[in-house]
Amino acid sequence: MTDNALRKNMNYKDCLEKGTENLERAGITEAKLDARLLLEYVCKTDHSTLFAHPDREVSDDEENLYEGFIARRVKREPVAYILGSMGFMGLSFDVSKDVLIPEQDTEILVEEALRFCEDKMRVLDLCTGSGCIALSILNYTNETEALCTDISEKAISVAKGNAEKMGLSERVEIVMTDLFPGKEVGKFDILVSNPPYIRSSVIDSLAPEVKDYEPRLALDGAEDGLVFYRRIAENAEDYLYSGAYIFLEIGYDQGDEVKELLEKQGKYHDIEVIKDYSGNDRVVRACYY
As annotated, the binding site includes 150, 194-197
Which alpha helices (H) appear in 75-152, and where do they start and end? Answer: 79-83, 104-116, 132-139
CA distance linking residue 259 with residue 265, whole number of Å: 10
CA distance linking residue 255 with residue 242, whole number of Å: 24
Q: Do residues 147 and 156 touch, judged by C-beta distance below 8 A? A: no
Q: Do residues 113 and 134 touch, judged by C-beta distance below 8 A? A: no
Binding residues for substrate: 194-197
CA distance linking residue 3 with residue 252, whole number of Å: 57
DSSP E strands, 35-139 = 85-88, 91-94, 122-126
Binding residues for S-adenosyl-L-methionine: 150, 194
How large is the greatest C-alpha to C-alpha distance in the chain, in angstroms? 82
Tell the burial category of 74 from Cβ atoms under 10 Å away from its Cβ (0-12, 13-18, 19+). Answer: middle
Count Cα neighbours of 236 within 13 Å in the Cβ-side half-sphere.
Answer: 35
Of all helices (H) and strands (E), which one includes residue 41?
Answer: helix 31-43
Please provide the DSSP assignment of 210-266 as one string.
Answer: HHTTS-GGGTB-TTTS-HHHHHHHHHGGGGEEEEEEEEEE--TT-HHHHHHHHHHHT
Q: Do residues 15 and 66 touch, judged by C-beta distance below 8 A? A: yes
